[in-house]
Amino acid sequence: MDDEQQHPEHGPLAGFTVGVTAARRAEELGALLQRRGAVVLHAPALRIVPLADDGELLAATKELIDQAPDVVVATTAIGFRGWIEAADGWGLGEPLLERLRDVELLARGPKVKGAVRAAGLTESWSPSSESMAEVLDRLLEEGVDGRRLAVQLHGEPLPGFVEALRAGGAQVVPVPVYRWMPPEDIGPVDRLLDAVAGRAVDALTFTSAPAAASLLSRAEERGQLGEVLAALGHDVLPACVGPVTALPLQARGVDTVQPERFRLGPLVQLLCQELPARARALPVAGHRVEIRGHAVLVDGELRPVPPAGMSLLRALARRPGWVVARAELLRALPGAGRDEHAVETAMARLRTALGTPRLIQTVVKRGYRLALDPAADTKYADG
């Protein structure tokens, strides 16, 4: 039985903060996360600029109308719809559709198929895996030497795709439907980067490779790339919708998690499994205490805890059952200076937030300790 079934008053992501870098479908992703209890910090790392007035897209469209391709590869639903809409705006909608009716039209995945059919067209083939690698394999198996292929680009890198086709002897016509640009307001991105570096978020989601690359680039500009990479390597879970999205992070040595199906729903379900599994759970004073990002579950009841209290609790949990000196706890408090009274104040608030004061014991003249259950002492003796 999962946690959500045992404690229906909160979702599996309750107590966790998740960063969202998406520009497109961010509201949908945020709603899915919030519905499962997460606090969402949204900072679009990019904005999508349609190319309806772009000469490059117009030139590619005219070229394909004038000289029919053998194959057209449609890679995203939004991109394909945008292309048809742009062509309509130029008065080229019908000539373009006529061309597309006469070619081999490959659609990457069911959403793209839906966009193709909504335009009154029928795809020739679509991969079951929704993978561009499978599309490439099919094209190369058919043979591309001397053939003319149009590939609808979609703002994401297609590693080796166009190069492999050209190496096979194909003439490739790129169709750039939209471009990624930095966000007009960079403030939310900077705040998100600060939160990542400060471990104030538990996971960071990416739904496009350009967004990941843009976020890392901004971190580098601000001189905090090392801090951000260190956080993503240990304390902040980087979750990507698929392997292409993960490439900029992997290039920096960051390991990511990805769902088996490259969709928002499975991405959220993956977080619902991963984040609770990473939370520290301890038997303390006859209670089960699970330490999450900004809250604690005490016997399944969600107890929000202030940031200073969470800092103290994490310091205590690193050595459960052992006495942690006030001086060490003071160092764990951000911005507390040298006043050990700050530890007492934060500790009082922590105990109040937990609702069970005896979880944390005061050891006179020495410090504080988590009241780890005796049965657990052996397990943590070497911790």
pLDDT (tens place) for every residue of the chain, 383 residues total: 344 334 446 789 999 999 999 887 889 999 999 999 999 999 999 887 766 557 888 999 999 999 999 999 999 888 898 899 889 989 999 999 999 999 999 998 888 999 999 999 999 999 987 778 889 999 999 999 999 999 998 655 566 888 999 999 999 998 988 777 888 899 999 999 999 998 999 999 999 888 999 999 999 999 999 999 999 998 999 999 888 788 899 999 999 999 988 788 999 999 999 999 998 889 998 899 999 999 999 998 999 998 899 999 999 998 888 999 988 899 888 765 667 788 889 999 999 999 988 899 999 888 999 898 876 544 443 34
Helices 209-221 and 225-234: angle between axes, nearest 10 degrees: 130
Residue ranges of the chain assigned to CATH 1.10.10.10: 280-380
Strand partners, 131: none
| Backbone dihedral angles phi then psi of residue 361, each to the nearest 5 degrees | -100, 140
Residue ranges of the chain assigned to CATH 3.40.50.10090: 3-46+183-278, 49-179
User: Taking a C-beta distance cutoff of 8 angstroms, is the pair 369, 316 a contact?
Assistant: yes
CATH of 3-46+183-278, one of 3.40.50.300, 3.40.50.720, 3.40.50.10090, 3.10.129.10: 3.40.50.10090
Q: Which fold has domain 49-179?
A: Rossmann fold (3.40.50)
| DSSP assignment of 339-375 | -THHHHHHHHHHHHHHS-GGGEEEETTTEEEE-B-GG
Rounded CA gap, 37 and 52, in Å?
39
**Architecture, CATH, for domain 280-380:** Orthogonal Bundle (1.10)
Rounded CA gap, 60 and 49, in Å?
18
Nearest to 21 by CA among 238, 211, 181, 244: 211
